Amino acid sequence: MSAYASTVLNASAEEVWDYLRDFGNLAEWLPGITLCEIEEGDGHRPGAVRRIEGPGGTFRERLLTLDDGSRSATYEILESPLPLRDYRGLYRVSPVTDSGRAFVEWSAAFEADDEAKITKIVTRGIFEPGLAALHTRFPS
């Protein structure tokens, strides 16, 4: 199953990527996250593990790739209060060439017993509010 959300921000792709490439800053912009700390490694290098505390409990995630050329990163969930398995997430920032703004995509593929329910939770409960919150960080 997969989840997906996207938005356009009023900032350059480079400016948005410079902010989002920090794997340890999730608590600064994702609503409901009270703590995000790097437990292992460097938040700017693959292999880093972050612990996230939110309303649903504790998540632990590992950064798999960080590609400045394509302004994208992939990560996996190691521990989650959600009933899902084999979660692989991707976020990417691309330039909107006719306006100089940034197109931001956030997606994930995973398995779950109730895939429709978990897809809704991930999309509407995490991705969409997270991308909406970035509009505050990068206002019009």
What is the structure's pLDDT at 56? 86
Confidence class of residue 139 from pLDDT cuts 50, 70 and 90?
Answer: confident
Token readout for 122 is: 């991930």
pLDDT above 90 (res 97): yes
Q: Give how far Cα 35 sits from Cα of 10, 31, 38, 53, 105, Å.
A: 27, 11, 10, 5, 23
Residue ranges of domains in the chain:
2-137
Look up the pTM and report it.
0.94
DSSP letter assigned to residue 80: -
Q: What is the DSSP letter of 78?
A: E
DSSP characters over 77-104:
EEE-SSS-EEEEEEEEEEEETTTTEEEE
Q: pLDDT, tens digit, for every residue of 31-87?
A: 999 999 999 999 999 999 999 999 889 999 999 999 999 999 999 999 999 999 999
Residue 95 sits at the vertex; the CA angle it makes with 93 and 96, to the nearest 5 degrees, is 125
* Averaged pLDDT score across all residues of the chain: 96
Q: Which residue has the higher pLDDT, 1 or 92?
A: 92
Q: Please report the pLDDT score of residue 30 as a whole number.
A: 96
32: how many CB neighbours lie within 10 A of its CB? Answer: 15
Give the model's confidence band at 123: pLDDT under 50 very low, under 70 low, under 90 confident, else very high: very high
Which CATH superfamily hosts domain 2-137? START domain (3.30.530.20)
